Amino acid sequence: MRITQGAFSFLPDLSDQQIHEQVQYCIDNNWAVSVEYTDDPHPRNVYWEMWGHPMFDNPDAAAVIFELNECRKQFGDRYIRIIAFDSTPGWESIRLSFIANRPKEEPGFNLEREDVKGRSVRYKISSYSAQKPEGSRY
């Protein structure tokens, strides 16, 4: 099952050229771009591992692509996303986040229904891959 998180995730995977252009757009807006990765695809897992520091003072997207490729070398079998952090208005927030790399196979989620008080149902999802220990999931 294809994970859809962040922007563009219903589109086919972006090519490097397209990622480059998206990142350049972020940089031109003075957003700090950084690369993050994870092997836990649960939608509530919002804190991914940082790959290096956020890049505050690189005027060109090539630097981000360079880091993305470095990250792919080591964690090519995990999810890698690019996030753009906007600090310009005073509040600090993520403006854009999209997945730039995904594992070859995405086993998807198990949906569990649980009957609780009366006839109400509680739902629980857990990703199949996250049942394995961290680092050996994909």
**Residues found near another protein in the complex (CB under 8 A):** 16-17, 20, 55, 57-63, 65-67
Closest distance of CB 57 from another protein, Å: 6
By beta-carbon proximity to another protein, the closer residue of 19 and 109 is: 19
CB atoms within 10 A of CB 129: 20
By beta-carbon proximity to another protein, the closer residue of 12 and 89 is: 12
Closest distance of CB 59 from another protein, Å: 5
β-partners of residue 34 are: 83
Closest distance of CB 28 from another protein, Å: 10
29 vs 14: CA distance, rounded Å: 21
By beta-carbon proximity to another protein, the closer residue of 57 and 134 is: 57
Closest distance of CB 60 from another protein, Å: 2
36 vs 39: CA distance, rounded Å: 11
By beta-carbon proximity to another protein, the closer residue of 1 and 62 is: 62
Burial 28-50 (b: 16+ CB within 10 A, else e): eeebbbbbbbbbbbeeeeeebee
